[in-house]
Amino acid sequence: GNSVTQMEGPVTLSEEAFLTINCTYTATGYPSLFWYVQYPGEGLQLLLKATKADDKGSNKGFEATYRKETTSFHLEKGSVQVSDSAVYFCAATNAGGTSYGKLTFGQGTILTVHP
Amino acid sequence: DAMVIQNPRYQVTQFGKPVTLSCSQTLNHNVMYWYQQKSSQAPKLLFHYYDKDFNNEADTPDNFQSRRPNTSFCFLDIRSPGLGDAAMYLCATKAGQGNEKLFFGSGTQLSVL
């Protein structure tokens, strides 16, 4: 099955700093890739996704590009805000669109942004 | 307004005492999932329903059961909780069989004493 590996956290940044959270995956075929975010006290919510190689997902200033050659989907943001403090999860569906869209998650990266 | 609702937010049970966690949704989605998330680990899929079709993950212990009496509700039953079952339990829904996004509830944090 799939596996997803994220950079270990926690990550602590000052406001307006540049953010990168690395994510790599192993899968047969071409999975769809996702970033989910979990704010304190809330459930996970989709941040962005990409469904094929070279696609770029973007939302709220965050971006990630599906890199098939490096099997990566790194999350970036040019200028983080305090409100971005959360846990970020990289995830992949089973390649080939297995029914029910079963997701495999990475272990999550805690991001803390200080004023 | 919350679309996937999990109750309670925090649940404490005793070792070996059966416990039920509940999830309801207002989205009318076909698919409902239960994930277990232990501290600093990835959410792990326990099982899911497509309508009434139940799908158990191969490594989900028999101690974990689920019921889905109708589209809106899904329950997670832990028959004899052990200390190792203390975790956050996440319910999620999805509209269909493709790669649509999942909608998550806020989770239930289970403690086992």
Work out the pLDDT band at A9, boundaries 50, 70, 90: confident
One-letter amino acid at A74 equals H
Mean pLDDT for chain B overall: 92
Given CB atoms, is B4 within the 8 Å cutoff of chain A? yes
Question: How close B15 gets to chain A, by Cα (Å)?
Answer: 26
B31–A46 CB contact, under 8 Å: no
Q: How far apart are CA A94 and CA B33, in angstroms?
A: 15
Per CB-CB distance under 8 Å, the chain B contacts of A42 are 106
What is residue A105's three-state secondary structure? strand
Work out the pLDDT band at B1, boundaries 50, 70, 90: low
Whether B90 shows a pLDDT value over 90: the answer reads yes
Tokens 């329950």 belong to B75
Given CB atoms, is B84 within the 8 Å cutoff of chain A? no
Integer angstrom CA distances of residue B99 from A36, A86, A100, A111: 14, 24, 8, 27
Q: Which residues pair with A59 in a beta bridge?
A: A62
- CA A13 to centroid of chain Cα atoms: 17
pLDDT at residue A42, rounded to an integer: 81
Task: Give the nearest partner residue to B4 out of A32, A43, A105, using CB atoms.
Answer: A43
Number of neighbouring beta carbons within 10 Å of residue B112: 19
pLDDT at residue B36, rounded to an integer: 95
Lookup: tokens for A16: 């307006």
Average pLDDT over every residue of A73-97: 90
Task: Give the nearest partner residue to B98 out of A34, A97, A103, using CB atoms.
Answer: A97
Whether B108 shows a pLDDT value over 90: the answer reads yes
- Residues of chain B with pLDDT > 70, as a percent, come to 96
Q: Which of residues 78-97 of A touch B (CB under 8 A)?
A: 89, 93, 97
B90–A103 CB contact, under 8 Å: no
Q: Are B78 and B19 in contact (CB under 8 A)?
A: yes
Residue B64 sits at the vertex; the CA angle it makes with A98 and B12, to the nearest 5 degrees, is: 125
In this structure, what DSSP letter does residue A72 have?
B
pLDDT at residue B101, rounded to an integer: 83
pLDDT at residue A40, rounded to an integer: 85
